[in-house]
Amino acid sequence: MACPYFSPEERCAAELWPHRARLPLGDGACGTCSAPGHEGERPTEDQLASHCNLGYARACPRRPAAPIADAVRFAVKKDSADTLLVSYVLEREHLPLSFGEVTFSCATAEATDEGRASLDDGIKRLAKFYVRSYLHRFPRQLAAAH
C-alpha cells in the first residue's frame, strides 16, 4: 500500500529497504508529495522509507487531516504478452474505499483503456511506477524488427 499522495518519479538509488521487491510499488521510489499544501515537496529519505512507499503514514507531516484515502494497493490480475490487467484498491482506515481495473501496455507501461479515465493523476502515476517495476522483474521478449 503506497501513500496515495506520493508521486513516484524514479527508482530510489538509496538502499532504504531490506526487500525492495516486496514494497507495495514493487520497488522503492523517489519522488514528490502531492498532498494539499505540499505539492512538489521532496520527502526525506526517512519519509520515503517509512511513509511514502508504504502508506498508512499517520505520522507523516504532510498527511492531510482528512485524507481521501490512506493507501492504495495494486495487483496484476492478468498478465499476457502484450498487456497487464492491473487492479487497484484505495483504502481508508484499513477498509476498501473504491476499486477498479486498468489495462496497461507492456511495451509502453501506459494505460490503454477507458478504465484509466476513472483514475486520478496521482493514482495513475503510482500505477505506472508499479507496472514499470513489475515489467522490470518480469521482462518481455520483444519480437525482433524485420
pLDDT tens-digit readout, 94-136: 899 999 999 999 999 999 876 666 678 888 899 999 999 999 9
pLDDT tens-digit readout, 57-99: 778 889 888 888 888 999 999 999 899 999 999 998 889 999 9
146 domain-assigned: no
125 domain-assigned: yes
Q: How far is CA 3 from the centre of its chain?
A: 8
The confidence score (pLDDT) of residue 2 equals 86
87 domain-assigned: yes
* Cβ 26 vs Cβ 133: under 8 Å: yes
144 domain-assigned: no
Sign of CA dihedral 102, 106, 107, 109: positive
Q: Give the total number of structural domains in the chain.
A: 1
Domain extent for 83 = 6-137
Report, as an integer, the average pLDDT of 46-60. 87
1 domain-assigned: no
- The upper half-sphere exposure of residue 47, i.e. CA atoms within 13 Å in the direction of its Cβ, equals 17
Q: What are phi and psi of 30, to 5 degrees?
A: -105, 155
β-pair partners for 74: 88
77 domain-assigned: yes
128 domain-assigned: yes
